Amino acid sequence: MVSSSLRDTIFRAAVDHVAEHGPDSLSFRKLAADAGVSHQAPYHHFADRRGVFRAIALDGFTRLGDALVHAMSAPADEQSGALLEAYVEFALANAGQFRVMFRSDLCDMENAPELQAFADAAFDTLVDHVRTKLGEGASINDIRARAAAMWSIAHGLATLFIDGPLQRKIGPIADRRAFIRSVGEQSGLA
């Protein structure tokens, strides 16, 4: 029997590799070398690259969902900003997962019901917040548009922070969390 700690070692090596080099360069041979295991060891835990990416995405959506639920404990008038901040901070702290989670070419959510469920749960936290914020008279179209706007702002900021162009364009950001909330306020979303 192969230990779960070996799986964890291989998984962690995959996440670290993706965070540093992106997902496209990940191979099982490279993964084994990074994890310090035999070149066959990853195959004992993951059938193929897609299996590795699904595991990374599942871990990511689980963590993102937890971060968004935690953000909902903020006072009602601060929840939108807290959600934006939680999303961006999650992405920055978990770049390996973030670089995989939204790439359907890597993790094929439609054929992974458990992964789809965790992704939906994270998004539903945002939709539920928007529904509450807009009130009972809000149409489903308004709710969806507002949720998509919040997601777009958070995802865009996260990507710009991770890939680096944001600070090159606007200069150093002394307080990232305050900046994220300010962007939300400027866009009318926080």
| pLDDT tens figures, 56-65 | 999 999 999 9
CA dist., res. 14 & res. 150, Å (int): 30
Model pLDDT for residues 138-179, shown as the tens digit of each residue: 999 999 999 999 999 999 999 999 988 888 889 889 999 999
User: How many CB atoms are located within 10 Å of the residue 137 CB?
Assistant: 6
* CATH number of the domain where residue 96 is located: 1.10.357.10
pLDDT value at 1 more than 60:
no
> pTM for the full model?
0.91
Q: Which is more confident, 164 or 7?
A: 7
Give the per-residue pLDDT at 162. 92
164 in any annotated domain: yes
- Please tell me whether residues 36 and 67 are part of one structural domain: no
Q: Provide the residue range defining the domain that includes 162.
A: 56-186
In percent, how much of the chain has pLDDT > 70? 98
DSSP string, 111-168: G-HHHHHHHHHHHHHHHHHHHHHH-TT--HHHHHHHHHHHHHHHHHHHHHHHHSHHHH
51 in any annotated domain: no
- Please tell me whether residues 81 and 141 are part of one structural domain: yes
31 in any annotated domain: yes
102 in any annotated domain: yes
Domain count, the chain: 2
- Please tell me whether residues 27 and 83 are part of one structural domain: no
Give the per-residue pLDDT at 32. 92
Rg over alpha carbons for the chain, rounded to the nearest Å, is 18
Give the per-residue pLDDT at 110. 86
